[in-house]
Amino acid sequence: MNIPGARPPTPQELVRVAERITFLYVEHALVSRKDSAITLTSDHGVVHVPAAQLTCLLIGPGCRVTHHAVMLIADSGTSAVWVGERGVRFYAAGRGLTRSSRMVEAQARLVTNTRRRLAVARRMYEMRFPDEDVSQLTMQQLRGREGARVRRIYRQESVRTGVPWNRRDYRPDDFDASDDVNKALSAANSALYGVVHAVLVALGCAPGLGFVHTGGDLALVHDVADLYKAETSIPVAFDVVAAQPSDVAAHARRSMRDAMVEAKVLERCVADVRRLILSDAEAAIDDEWRNVVALWDGGSGTVSGGTNYGQGIEDELVDW
């Protein structure tokens, strides 16, 4: 059958998410397509972006996006995230790379079992603060430890850079109401959230099923992003303010992009999420590119799809 339109690439033809560029933020531009590249056209000229090598495109205010651009973004497995001014609001996102439901099924089993969910929360804390033994701590104790450690990190960064710090204070409805360091933190965290969201979607996880955070549609995004804030967004924000740039948010995004590349956040995020959600044996199986649809067998297993299971019982059916 001749289907009109360009043939979308197979997952095997695409760059893996761990090997991609982290993110690109664009505002006040026309987002279009030429061949296999996204084109960004503004008063400054035209920029070509290789879509298949990009993890996350943050589309800000003042953008127009063509139909062909969205086709290429979707076919490339790039997450298109529509964000607000300065990139600090999250509105919508597109489809990722995976064609398998294995990760989201394993995630759902963990989230819906209290004992297993607490075990994942403890592993997350151990990944952030490996010098502490939390094997016997309750969720309430974990929250207390986490709060104390994060406050200490803010104070240390303030002393290191000389930037005054009082507390985390920001208003989602008024970005300019915050002081510079809180503005920088919001912008840097927003970029981190976009990249983590893209990785989760690419792996096939449900962003709303969190282990520590809960109730929001990005709960798991906040869980996983917290693993990297102490070495990326927090020091970046203080360094940006210490440099006294004219545009704090833009400088924070550019610095955050460099920090994530240096810290290998993409590669680590893929490995960390798989390690948190899958068993060691399951994590060893790489099915990022698989497109296998099976049928539920009614119990705990599956049977092959694409098979006619009605053969041999036609005579038993009532002729309606």
Instruction: Provide the annotated binding site for Mn(2+).
Output: 146, 213, 226
DSSP 214-273: -SSTTHHHHHHHTTTGGGTHHHHHHHHHHH--S-HHHHHHHHHHHHHHHTTHHHHHHHHH
User: What is the Cα–Cα distance from 61 to 65, expressed in whole angstroms?
Assistant: 11
Annotated binding site: 146, 213, 226
Q: What share of the chain is helix, strand, coil (3-state, %, to 5)?
A: 50, 15, 40
Contact (Cβ atoms closer than 8 angstroms) between residue 225 and residue 210: no
**Paired strand residues for 83:** 90
Contact (Cβ atoms closer than 8 angstroms) between residue 95 and residue 201: yes
User: What is the Cα–Cα distance from 240 to 161, expressed in whole angstroms?
Assistant: 10
Beta strand spans in the chain (E):
21-26, 30-34, 37-42, 45-50, 54-59, 64-65, 79-83, 90-93, 294-296, 302-304
Buried b (16+ CB within 10 A) or exposed e, 242-281: beebeebbbbbbbbbbebbeeeebbebbbebbbebbbeee
